[in-house]
Structure 1
Amino acid sequence: MTLRFPVRQMHAMTPPLMPPADPTAGVIAEDFAGMKSQAFGLARRAGLTPVLCPVMVRPGWRYLPASWWPMPLRAIRPLQMPATCMGPSGVMISIGGTGGAVGAAMRARGGRVVQIQNPRMDLRKFDLVIANRHDEISGPNVVLSRTALHGVSPECLAQARRVWAPRLAHLPRPLVSVLVGGGNGRFRLGAAEGHALAAQLGRMIDCDGVGLALTPSRRTGVEVREILSHHLSPKGAWVWDMEGENPYLGLLACADAIVVTADSVSMISEAVATQAPVMVAALPGRSRRIGLFMQDLTQAGRIRVFDGRMRDWPVAPLDDTQAVAQEMRHRLNLK
């Protein structure tokens, strides 16, 4: 489907934790911010309280793709899972290839598992698979979305706006928020790219008179951060120094326009969930999946390529997370 818009003791598990009072979803994931953001966002939008059950792979097993593990629960350290998440009435959410391998093994032992992202294994091993259109998978238990899942809801943005609007009030309007990622296996963001981006952003400040607030991410290299700060701070831009409270949500909430680097589906997905037009700063590299993702959003009129100038056009928030969460509740018959 494409959206528009008593349990046996399990191997490699410690005794179940005492169940919390609220309905919970056990999140089977490696302890990475991007994965937690997607799984926690889905759970909360579905009215569940997410509990991270971190997957810690034993030494030696990382050299073998998780989908090849003959006994996934032997490949990880004991997984702690709330008792209410297990069995036919519980819910577990796995994400990524490693989480998916463990999630499939948990389902084989009697649990209900929702997988986020293409697990790169038989999709029938899960009760539900939630993936992006650009993953190019299909099946009776597959739900597809245009954007990555996340927790940037209107309520979350409103709360962040109340906190950050006074802190950013000294900057000129329109305010352009800049979200900077980092190099990965598909795109490059080193010193040369940092200089080019700084020049483009500086030109926008000079030519269009915008205020500019910029946040690097954990993946942004130190040299790139220094280049951006050195070039933009003298022009009156506010550049987060990675100290104190993270301004990310505040920049999303307060922006009149957003510039985001092309390396991150998650950051672009969160940006287009706001009411601001989103411009994507190109980076050297190539990814078929991210290309299809951006093509979809371009056709929807939600993003444009950043060319060093402020651009404004009518937009509406684009976020499939809530619809996906509702579909999950329907498919799993969650009360």
Structure 2
Amino acid sequence: MASPSTIWILSDGKAGDVAQCVGVAEALHLPYEMRTVAPKPPYSWWLPYGPFPPKDRETHADSPIAPPYPDIALASGRRAAAYLKRVKKASGGKTFTVFLKDPRTGPGSADLIWVPEHDKLRGLNVLVTPTSPHKFSASRLAELKSEPFPEIDSPPAPKVAVLLGGDSRHHTFTESDQKRFIDGLRQMATDDQAHFLITVSRRTPADLAKAVEELAISGGHYFWAGDGPNPYGHFLAKADAFVATADSTNMIGEATSTGRPIHVFHPSGGHDKITRFLGTLEQLGCVHPFPGPMKTTTYEPIDATPVIAERILADYSALHHAGTPSSGEEHPAVTVETRKTD
């Protein structure tokens, strides 16, 4: 079996895209090199459909895709799609190309494309899973769980990690939404004796961030205010359950890697893709409504990252042995069995 030894990660630097690519690269257990693309207007407006930026051609010494080329090029993000296709051509077809999420230019954009189930792109070289790749492998979660963290370890169970997103293109936290969210937390703390581990995002409305911080102080919960190392990974590893907001699909997907119940709050707005995503997870027994009673039902953890890594290695080997990627038929869809612990 042919084995790769070098990886490029191509992106425009967006944190979410980089995190997904790094998670897959780490699952391949190979060193990787970051290659950041930064096309200037008007080319940045046209990508991935328009002409490739002349100054970024591989013949320029300072090009982000200057050779020598890697065995595998892994990319994510609209602007990176064009660069990935350029790498394939410039390497004489030798670099195996992988794109995470829909490149918007069809299944021929890379040797292998991964999309979440709620995206519509399909093809023999398109791998589909319920959730997205990330950096929190089972072994990493086990390490984080064993690491002492007094602020998280001290409170008694049940410990509920509150993963609070905020306003986005598709969602808005109105005053009514904010009140409903805070009231739901208070109800869960009273009815279920929940102890909260709370983190907010840059998108969280200031009034809502202040309200959850005040709730944490008055109720003896842990609120991470952004000082010191980010405890998010420890939240995932140590929580008995989660409360997450529907706008934060990446955090919801990462929480499914724990097998613990996720209570989803819906702010105003929405999008068909997010509805399909949450519908799939509801069918799998992963998510439950919030506000609402705290659930203790668990399920087999879902982690798309090793599935993607396995498919990359299989298709890479097939490309080098037969000159064409495998169809992927030997890689069945992820299945999840639910079980109850209450």
TM-score, normalising length: structure 2: 0.84
Unaligned runs of 5+ in 1: 1-21
Quote the residue 1:145 is aligned against: 129
CA distance in 1, matches of 2:295, 2:35: 43
Shift, 1:75, TM fit: 6.7
Matched residue count: 310
2:87 maps to amino acid: M
- Given that 2:174 and 2:268 are in contact with CA atoms closer than 8 Å, whether structure 1 keeps it comes out as no
**Is the partner of 2:118 in helix, strand or coil?**
helix
Quote the residue 1:26 is aligned against: 8
Of residues 198, 201, 215, the one that matches 2:182 is 198
The alpha-carbon distance between structure 1 residues 223 and 57, as it changes in their structure 2 partners (threshold 3 A), is farther
Shift, 1:117, TM fit: 0.5
| 1:96-135 equivalent positions in 2, closer than 5 A | 96-110=77-91, 111-135=95-119
Unaligned runs of 5+ in 2: 321-342
* Residue range with higher mean Cα deviation, 190-199 or 238-247: 190-199
**Is the partner of 1:135 in helix, strand or coil?**
coil
2:78 maps to amino acid: G
- Given that 1:24 and 1:91 are in contact with CA atoms closer than 8 Å, whether structure 2 keeps it comes out as yes
CA distance in 2, matches of 1:245, 1:290: 30
CA distance in 2, matches of 1:186, 1:321: 26
**Is the partner of 1:124 in helix, strand or coil?**
helix
1:214 maps to amino acid: I
**Is the partner of 2:299 in helix, strand or coil?**
coil
The alpha-carbon distance between structure 1 residues 37 and 244, as it changes in their structure 2 partners (threshold 3 A), is same
**Is the partner of 2:167 in helix, strand or coil?**
coil
* Residue range with higher mean Cα deviation, 169-178 or 303-312: 303-312
Quote the residue 2:338 is aligned against: none
Identical aligned pairs, as a percentage?
26
CA distance in 2, matches of 1:260, 1:24: 37
| 1:276-287 equivalent positions in 2, closer than 5 A | 276-287=260-271
Quote the residue 1:91 is aligned against: 72
CA distance in 2, matches of 1:54, 1:106: 13
Per-residue CA deviations over 1:176-199 (Å, capped at 9, x if unaligned) read 111111211111135553332122
The alpha-carbon distance between structure 1 residues 298 and 227, as it changes in their structure 2 partners (threshold 3 A), is same
CA distance in 2, matches of 1:277, 1:107: 42
2:105 maps to amino acid: M
The alignment status of 1:325 with 2:306, answered yes or no, reads no
Per-residue CA deviations over 1:265-319 (Å, capped at 9, x if unaligned) read 2111100000311111112112111111111111111111222432211322111
**Is the partner of 1:67 in helix, strand or coil?**
coil
| 1:75-86 equivalent positions in 2, closer than 5 A | 78-80=62-64, 86=69
Shift, 1:105, TM fit: 2.0
**Is the partner of 2:179 in helix, strand or coil?**
helix
The alpha-carbon distance between structure 1 residues 132 and 189, as it changes in their structure 2 partners (threshold 3 A), is same
- Given that 1:40 and 1:151 are in contact with CA atoms closer than 8 Å, whether structure 2 keeps it comes out as yes
Of residues 163, 187, 199, the one that matches 2:171 is 187
TM-score, normalising length: structure 1: 0.85
Per-residue CA deviations over 1:84-128 (Å, capped at 9, x if unaligned) read 6x16xx111110211112212222222331111000003213111
- Given that 2:100 and 2:114 are in contact with CA atoms closer than 8 Å, whether structure 1 keeps it comes out as yes
| 1:1-335 equivalent positions in 2, closer than 5 A | 23-62=5-44, 64-72=45-53, 74=55, 78-80=62-64, 86=69, 90-110=71-91, 111-189=95-173, 192-333=176-317
Shift, 1:147, TM fit: 0.5
- Given that 1:262 and 1:281 are in contact with CA atoms closer than 8 Å, whether structure 2 keeps it comes out as yes
* Residue range with higher mean Cα deviation, 247-256 or 133-142: 133-142
The alpha-carbon distance between structure 1 residues 249 and 197, as it changes in their structure 2 partners (threshold 3 A), is same
CA distance in 2, matches of 1:305, 1:46: 36
1:94 maps to amino acid: A
CA distance in 2, matches of 1:315, 1:47: 27
Quote the residue 2:332 is aligned against: none
Shift, 1:222, TM fit: 3.4
- Given that 1:27 and 1:53 are in contact with CA atoms closer than 8 Å, whether structure 2 keeps it comes out as yes
